[in-house]
Amino acid sequence: MRRILLGIAVAALFTAPTLAADYPLPAPVSRGPIMVPPAIDWNACYLGGNIGWGRDTHRYTSAGGLSEGRTNADGVVAGGQAGCDVQVTSYLVIGAQGLMDWADANGSNASSVTPANVFHTNARWFATAAGRLGIAVVPALLVYGKGGFGWVGEHNTFTSSGVLTNNNTNDRIFAGIDAGGGVEWKMNPNWSLWVEYDRMFSHTDRLVFSGIGGAASFQETVRRDFEKVLFGINYRFGGPVVARY
C-alpha cells in the first residue's frame, strides 16, 4: 500500500510542471503614458485687451496766483496692451509692456474766484510704456509692480455764465512718470486675467485759453494727475512647448 501511495506522489510531482506549461501566462497590462500637468511658466510674450475707469485731475491757478479749484474728469477707458515676460528664477518675473487706451473722462469745476466761470476737461486717450517686476506667490499667481512713463491726450474749454468763451489752443498731450501694481492669474499656459491700479504723477503746465467771439485770451497754470483701474486679459505665446498625449 505504501508503495502505491509513493508511486502516485512521484507521478504527480513530475506531471504538474507539464500541465502548468500548457496554460499561457497572462499578458502584461499596459498603463500607457503617465500624464504630468504642465508646469506654470511665465516666459512668453502676449497681446490683450482691457477695460476700466480713469480720472484726469486738474488743479487750476490763475496768472495772479489765485487757486481756482480742482476738476475731476472721470469716465470709462478701454484698449489694448502688448508685452513680454521673462521668469529669471522660480518666483521672480521681469518684463516690459506697452499699453494704449481710448478714454471718455469728462469733468467740470466752477472757479473758486468767479463761480460763473467754469473749466471743462475731456481726457480722450492715454498710453504707457513701463517695466514690470513680479513675484509668483504661487506658480499661477503673479503679484507685480510697474513703473515707466505715460501720456494723456485731452481737450480743455472754458465757459462764462454758460457761454463758451475760450478754447484751449489745441488738443494737449501731457506726460509724466507712471507707477502702480497689480495681480495676474494664469488660467492655463496661454490665457491670463489681471487687474491693476496705476497713476501718472503730477505734471505742471501752462494752458492758454484762446478767446472766442471777441473774448479775451488768458492762461492758467495747471497741475495734472491721471489715475486708472484696469481689468484685462492676455493671450500668451512663444513660451515653452508642452508635450501633449
pTM for this predicted structure: 0.78
Distance separating alpha carbons of residues 174 and 224, to the nearest angstrom: 8
Query: pLDDT tens digits for 159-210?
Result: 988 888 887 755 678 899 999 999 999 999 999 999 999 999 887 888 888 8
Residue 132 pLDDT > 60? yes
State which CATH number among 3.30.2010.10, 3.40.30.10, 3.40.50.10540, 2.40.128.90 fits the domain covering 42-237. Answer: 2.40.128.90
Over the stretch 43-86, which tens digit does the pLDDT of each residue have? 999 999 999 999 999 999 998 899 999 999 999 999 999 999 99
Residue 101: pLDDT above 70? yes
Which residues, other chains included, contact 206 with Cβ-Cβ below 8 Å and sequence gap of 6+?
219, 220, 221, 222
| H-helix or E-strand spanning residue 3 | helix 2-21
Q: Take residue 165 and report the three cell numbers written for it.
A: 468763451
Q: How far apart are CA 225 and CA 205, in angstroms?
A: 11
Domain spans, the chain:
42-237
